[in-house]
Structure 1
């Protein structure tokens, strides 16, 4: 029973895909298949007339594509055969569980699953072999032991580098299925893997002929219309032979608006956008109203170098926001020594603390104009200069941001100035008074401290 429970836990924990290195999606992809093959994080929007069809999952959501219209395959592992053993634990028979898997791979996204090997008690743990003679290059299978002993738990990882090239005219099966056997050396029993590649969108396998979305003049596939002969347009709404198709008014976004927004030519009632000198820049949209280069700049880079420009609007990468993608959403720089963001006295915006008045400082830890400023910094001054006080054992950790200058007596301290607090505090260590100033600095604070103290009976230390 314990073995079965462990197997179940491993199965639940490991049947999850791991992400490959982040890549840039082909936003100009003309089909769903081309989109999902451009990167493991790329998804396709099947909604009618979206601003953008190919982008990351978050990019499509930010562009307004409904979640229900986003196609983003991540592969799949299915257990095909999983018979249980009825033999006692000390049996002399080898047992493998599960016995058969089906693995669908999206290139760049690995699939991992567990395998249990029950060995005869007198048998040493054997080497595992994989027969991959019929599997093409780029499909890799890795075996790693999770737990050794009896039974043996093995983690199997399968990953494909990329989909086959369309130019590859070999007779070899390009997307599977391929069959692989994992066999303990010296035994005839093996685990069977059926591996296939997800290089074609599910929606590409079905066409809705004479679709209403295509004005009845074309087939709908993956949210796009494939128009029948003599019809054209995004929704196949124009007859090429009709005199109406020659009317340039069809190429205006509104009455008297420039034809094709002044960025293209009206052909058969539809805009053909002009090409830019820079091939990386392009116009798009029904009326050529969009561009991928007319977006806000930050740090001399379009969209701050942290996003993509689509129709004049920045689609930011994960962990970046704002209209020019210049605002980082990381919060580590806002973490104060009390393990609270901005000391609990402000908000972390674009990686910097916006403090609530009257608090200041990189993490809102200072309050130079508060009445309790002297009391607030007393313990750090005492431990930094005199090595006493409640914070003496953790002075470096909690008071490292305070810069301290030591003078001999209070007469050597600077003259009073605006924005500088002058403090006289008593130490519980020796009941002596000590003197210091405090002023706020960008790094945390600056104190000038008199080494000499005023102690009882008029004695100085």
Structure 2
């Protein structure tokens, strides 16, 4: 069950968040969202002016283009190719991610423990936060320490994912700060997320990307003299060669004052191979690759043998939409794998109610449990041919509550998964299981229930022994 969204404005340095809900925390905002109130500064003369004018704005690094600041679609319509556009989005980097298998009764475990975020105003970044706690100690409230954070930031804590404590944290900044009023206009600032009553916290180190050096986004600032791409006979600027006299050609491969020129054989990858792999023309012994109707698709390589669009598809998307196509092979994004980048390395969907991957009865492959027979189900928690529910947990109930039974010497290792509640007698339990202890020939009663947070058992403290029943 997911309660409705709750919104609160943070006016104090610390703020309480209730668990098991969908949260939205907003720091006080100085200005309305750029995305709603501003458009790109098409008259911008520098990359920094352009990028700061709005989160949707990109800068074209081709100096002779009349329109250099607009949205990606606007620049594309103006003739700027995508690989000449500068459009930073910020990034997230986990800087501390220690793992622990089991928290103690007094503590819990947060993972990751420290995250570094670089934010472009108006563009949010996110990361998953895992919360593991002792089974007998329910989590209480979350507190956010916001005292060192300036106005204009927002943090969202999403709902619990897939039935256990995995929360999506989203962080955004609404605007760049006025450096004349605040000398620390770009950070870093620290925000701490911590559960109430526990010393553990997650540290967020936040930096704003507000100033952009011209050399970072203007290809003229990255001019490479004597570039190998231009056969060391010219400068590489904005993806094109500016040849030194007397050289000419797309790669400065032709010496206009020399009678010698490269033979066309240099445009073949082998003796019988077609010129430029059939994807280009031979110009002075160098391949000039053909253009595609779609400007996003390109041929490349010495013999035009590579492409960025001829890669495996998954779900009707090249590289599954989770990677880049480089020379006919998918280079997958982080947390994705396989030849078509269609295999997720995220294990959230494989987590069983006992906080084990695939219930310890299978393996998590591409985000899906592959169960060992006879177990089945999305998290390998179903077993139609296994012992009944009562028999399956009887030994653990007996050793945990009464200290007897076949598992009493290994009870802590094998039976700590049970979350126990004791009542006085079987009349306090609805439809209880009735099991017998071989050590004293007494019956004990309990119930079992499964929830997303764990396996629960209600146990009657009173046993019924045969000698008692015979009286």
TM exceeding 0.5: no
- Shorter-chain TM-score range: 0.3 to 0.5
TM-score, with structure 1 as normaliser: 0.42
TM-score when scaled to structure 2? 0.42
